[in-house]
Amino acid sequence: MRYTLAIFLIAVVIFPQAFAQSPNRPSVTTATIGPASTDAKKAPADKLATDRAMTDKVMSEKVIDDKVIDLGTVVVTGAQPGPGLWKVVKGEHTLWILGTQSPLPRQMEWDSANVQRVIAEAQEVLGPNGIAVNTNQGMFRTLLLVPSLLKARKNPDGKTLQELLPPAQYARWQTLKQRYIGRDRGIEKWRPVFAALELYNKAIERSGMTQSGVVQPVVSAAIKQRKIKETTTAITVTIDNPKAAIKAFSAESLDDLDCFNRTLDRIEGDLGTMIARANAWAVGDIEALRTIPYRNQFTACSAAFAEADIARKLGYQDLDKRMERSWLAAAEAALGKNASTFATLPISQLLQPGALLAQLREKGYEVQEP
């Protein structure tokens, strides 16, 4: 996943979970603003009603504790075990990896006892793979950028979505906007990519799911309690002049209609599948996570930023490869010295061909699945 300067700042300040569904999503933090909140939120039961389109989907059922859960129409609640741990072995050295998933059922309570036991016995915990953004501005000066960031969401030529989108696409947008956002005239002036991300976030909320972190708060608390060494695997990107960068971005048009269209496609036809994946993670059904279809619009969305002139000028096209190298280097170092190490990775990095776990396997490490 490629991130440009503009999306770093906008994601951190305005859309901290904008790319939470990306299969290779890194965490995005900033040295001057701090990471986005990862506290799971509770919601009233009446907000767990799923979209009518989801109820028409027929998915497989899974029996858990003598109860039948329809993975297509019901968002699981209560205590759930989550998936088991992957195990990477080199002689007497073991790296335990928990696969993470977003979104997840909003009222699920994760039974983290097994993970906490593993962390308690570890000599080191590898931090999330991602990007740390450093603006060198300080908290107060960074907050002064917020008005410029809010303005950067809008189309630089003042056009509305109705003027930018083909009629059929705009009609789809209006239907989904009414369902998930309501009467918000201001969003009609936003760039298509940001309007699509806002719509996606609202649809996730209305479907009984959450993009707030469930795993990381537990891991962080265990590290603090046990005083375990934590090693960052994130790469640091320093933005020397964020004000100038935002100004340049605000004046530039984006090729983001493909992102907009794919996001609408996903909301219209994939919410039921997203619920199925969220439920599969909650109950620890690895096979379901492996086989449930996954459509991803975020490659198109991030490409809209990566292809911008400001991104090319600043040389921010190869961050995904740098993140992979950083995580693999930390993992191999840990496997060379620790009896036990704990880490988390997006579930896709454990299941997809060519992803990080597959790369460790290709290097000769023994990989044991849960």
DSSP string over 228-294: -EEE--PEEEE-S-HHHHHHHHHT-----HHHHHHHHHHHHHSHHHHHHHHHHHHHT-HHHHHHS--
Task: Look at residue 305 in the predicted model and tell me its pLDDT.
Answer: 72
The residue assigned the tokens 């859960």 is 69
Q: What is the DSSP letter of 70?
A: E
pLDDT at 58: 27
- Confidence band for 263, pLDDT divided at 50, 70 and 90: very high
CB 127 within 8 A of CB 230: yes
* pLDDT score for 141: 75
pLDDT for residue 318 is more than 50: yes
- pLDDT bin (cut points 50, 70, 90) of residue 74 is low
Taking the C-alpha atoms of residue 154 and residue 158, their distance in angstroms, rounded to an integer, is: 7
Buried residues in 41-69 as b, exposed as e (16+ CB within 10 A): eeeeeeebebbeebeebebeebebeeeeb
pLDDT at residue 336 greater than cutoff 90:
yes
**Closest C-alpha to 111, from 76, 85, 81, 78:** 81
**How many of the other CB atoms lie within 10 Å of CB of 227?**
7
Mean pLDDT value across the chain: 78
Among 154-163, 260-269, 312-321, 354-363, the minimum mean pLDDT is found in 312-321
Q: What is the pLDDT of residue 50?
A: 32
pLDDT band at 92 (very low <50, low <70, confident <90, very high): very high
Average pLDDT on 12-19 reads 37
Exposed / middle / buried, residue 258 (Cβ in 10 Å: 0-12, 13-18, 19+): middle
Residue 235 pLDDT grade (very low, low, confident, very high; cuts 50, 70, 90): confident
Residues 368, 150: Cα–Cα separation, whole Å: 46
What's the whole-number mean pLDDT along residues 247-273? Answer: 87
Range of the domain at 364: 5-368
Of 258 and 94, the one with more pLDDT: 94
Which one has a higher pLDDT value, 337 or 293? 337
Residue 13 pLDDT > 60: no
Contact 283, 62 (CB under 8 A): yes
CA atoms within 13 A on the CB side of 45: 2
Q: How much of the chain, in percent, has pLDDT values that exceed 90?
A: 45
Distance CA 231, CA 115 (A): 18
Distance CA 312, CA 281 (A): 37
Q: What is the pLDDT of residue 121?
A: 96
What is the helix, strand, coil percentage profile of the chain, to 5? 45, 15, 35
Is the model's pLDDT at 287 over the cut of 80?
yes
Q: What is the pLDDT of residue 75?
A: 67
Q: pLDDT band at 190, cuts 50/70/90?
A: very high
Which is more confidently placed, 146 or 166? 166
Would strands 86-90 and 93-100 be described as parallel, antiparallel, or unpaired? antiparallel
In one-letter notation, the amino acid at residue 247 is K
d(CA 315, CA 280): 38
What length is written for the chain? 370
Mean pLDDT on 11-36: 38
Rounded average pLDDT over 115-127: 97
pLDDT for 192 equals: 93
Q: How many structural domains comprise the chain?
A: 1
pLDDT greater than 50 at residue 17: no
Rounded Cα distance between 72 and 349, Å, is: 24
Task: Give residue 317's pLDDT.
Answer: 66
The mean per-residue pLDDT over the stretch 270-283 comes to 90
Q: Is pLDDT above 90 for 252?
A: no
Q: What is residue 49's predicted lDDT score, i.e. its pLDDT? A: 32
pLDDT value at position 1? 35
Q: Indicate the pLDDT class of residue 314, thresholds 50, 70 and 90.
A: low
Residue 180 has pLDDT above 90, yes or no: yes
How far is residue 199's CA from residue 178's CA, in Å, rounded to a whole number? 10
Provide the pLDDT confidence category of residue 320 given band limits of 50, 70 and 90: confident
The yes-or-no verdict on residue 266 having pLDDT over 70 is yes
pLDDT band at 67 (very low <50, low <70, confident <90, very high): very low
What is the tens place of the pLDDT at every residue in 159-178?
Answer: 999 999 999 999 999 999 99
- 290 or 243: which carries more pLDDT confidence? 290
